[in-house]
Amino acid sequence: MERNVVGVVNNQFHAHRIVVGVVILKRAFSSSAANATKVAVLGAAGGIGQPLSLLLKHNESISHLALYDIVNAPGVAADLSHINTHSKVTGYSPDNDGLKHAVTDATIIVIPAGVPRKPGMTRDDLFNTNAGIVKDLATAAAQYAPKAFMAVISNPVNSTSMIQKVTTLDVVRSSRFVSELKGTDPKNENILVVGGHSGVTIIPLISQSGAKFTDDELKALTHRIQFGGDEVVKAKAGTGSATLSMAFSASRFTNSLLRALNGENGVVEPAYVRSPLFESKGVEYFASNVELSREGVGKIHDLGPLSQYEKDLLEAALPELKKNIAKGVDFVHKQ
Ligand SMILES: NC(=O)c1ccc[n+]([C@@H]2O[C@H](COP(=O)([O-])OP(=O)(O)OC[C@H]3O[C@@H](n4cnc5c(N)ncnc54)[C@H](O)[C@@H]3O)[C@@H](O)[C@H]2O)c1
Ligand SMILES: O=C(O)C[C@H](O)C(=O)O
């Protein structure tokens, strides 16, 4: 979903652009595919890949889970395959055309492959390494699975994706952080987060939830949501960034996309997609609520009413987002 992030590109016609982005949309989902749904996870042996694969093993809509990584994917697959849910699990390494076999006939390809941050690094510092990894994987996906929808998790998603779940993680965090402050059930706290997925580009629209906070509380809460990833990077002290909450979020997004591909109406998730919302300001990709459909991205929702505080957050986010997007686009053009 990788352009938690950027636009929806039909990879049949824009295969060379997949590089930057992550996700891609595609064509109509056939009813036979609905009965035999293969999901491929690329980077499946990593900190996100393993718990994500575990969660997907529990998804009854998936008939085949194909796991690929440069290390250990066959072992992870063997382990998961003993879980008594109905889906088949297969694991692939780069040997013997493993990547090709992993993605062929996939309906959805989720990409958590890549290097995570260490304390003191920004997501943007990961660009040089991760853009190349995503490019290689997305190129193979375009070649062997041209109909698949791709969801890219690899950071910096503001620059690497075309439709992503990243905003799902920000929404999951916001719900939890607000419920902690108010002492409520997080299931009832639906906080929309729009923009992008890095620092000031993360714009929580808390006013729409009806929750009342003092100015200081609101400022602190907004900062915590914008820098929730840094909180985890710091706590993990050099051993990685968020994996379990990201796996949960990616699993939620994948499940929503499967429901929409199977014909369910009204499935809405925040997603970073090519968007008309701020195109006139030169920002071509923007995360907002998106109705998922058989075609991937359906209706892109407006932001709704914003408080003055949120309007100011938006003004601060747009120039940074524009820069992030330009970086991904430049990378693609140089290939
Ligand atoms: N979008 C988000 O909200 C979000 C949240 C958390 C983490 N992330 C990003 O996700 C990425 C992965 O994080 P992690 O904690 O799982 O890292 P990790 O290092 O634990 O796992 C990454 C996995 O990718 C594999 N890999 C590397 N190159 C590969 C290639 N060419 N093909 C296949 N597999 C390859 C590695 O072998 C490893 O198993 C990082 O870039 C991180 O910043 C994004
Ligand atoms: O912070 C990171 O680098 C990982 C991820 O983007 C997050 O928000 O947790």
Catalytic residue among 14, 197, 223, 333: 197
Question: What per-residue confidence (pLDDT) applies to 82?
Answer: 96
d(CA 61, CA 108): 12
Tokens of 278: 């701020």
Tokens of 165: 């779940």
Q: What 3 state SS string does 137-181 have?
A: HHHHHHHHCCCCEEEECCCCHHHHCCCCCHHHHHHHHHHHHHHHH
| Residue 301 bears catalytic tag | no
Q: If DSSP codes are grouped into helix, strand and coil, which group holds residue 269?
A: strand
The ligand 2 site (C-beta within 6 Å) comprises 117, 123, 155, 169, 228-229, 232-233, 241-242
Tokens of 181: 């402050």
The answer to whether 209 and 189 are in contact (CB under 8 A) is: yes
Question: What per-residue confidence (pLDDT) applies to 226?
Answer: 97
Helix or strand (DSSP H, E) at 318: helix 308-334
Residue type, 55: L
Return left, alpha or beta for 286; rule: phi > 0 is left, psi -120 to 50 is alpha, else beta. beta
54-69 pLDDT, tens digit each: 999 999 999 999 999 9
Q: C-alpha distances in angstroms, 256 versus 114, 168, 300?
A: 24, 11, 15
Alpha-helical runs (H) found in 227-285: 228-236, 244-261
d(CA 218, CA 248): 26
Top pLDDT among 299 and 158 is at: 299
Task: Answer yes or no: is pLDDT of 113 > 60.
Answer: yes
d(CA 292, CA 310): 26
User: Whose Cα sits closest to atom 15 in ligand 1?
Assistant: 47
d(CA 102, CA 262): 22
Question: What per-residue confidence (pLDDT) applies to 157?
Answer: 86
Give 239's contacts (C-beta < 8 A, 6+ positions apart). Answer: none
Q: Terminal CA-to-CA distance of the chain, rounded, Å?
A: 22
Task: Answer yes or no: is pLDDT of 33 > 80.
Answer: no
Q: How far is the CA of 71 from the centre of ligand 2 (A)?
A: 22
Question: What per-residue confidence (pLDDT) applies to 161?
Answer: 67
Q: Which of 172, 182, 232 is nearest to 202 (CA)?
A: 172
- Out of 53-57, 82-86, 230-234, 325-329, least confident range: 325-329
Binning pLDDT at 50, 70 and 90, where does residue 21 land? Answer: very low
Cα angle 275-280-286, degrees, rounded to a multiple of 5: 30
Binning pLDDT at 50, 70 and 90, where does residue 35 land? Answer: low
d(CA 306, CA 316): 14
Is 246 within any annotated ligand binding site?
Answer: yes
Point out the ligand nearest to the CA of residue 158. 1
Q: C-alpha distances in angstroms, 208 versus 86, 189, 226, 326?
A: 41, 11, 17, 31
69-88 pLDDT, tens digit each: 999 999 999 999 999 999 99
d(CA 279, CA 257): 25
Residue 262 CB-density burial (10 A; 0-12 exposed, 13-18 middle, 19+ buried): middle
Q: C-alpha distances in angstroms, 231 versus 203, 225, 236, 237?
A: 17, 10, 9, 10
Does the beta carbon of 317 sit less than 6 angstroms from any atom of ligand 1? no
Mutate to test the pocket of ligand 2, among 157, 164, 169 (most ligand atoms within 8 A of CB): 169
Binning pLDDT at 50, 70 and 90, where does residue 332 land? Answer: confident
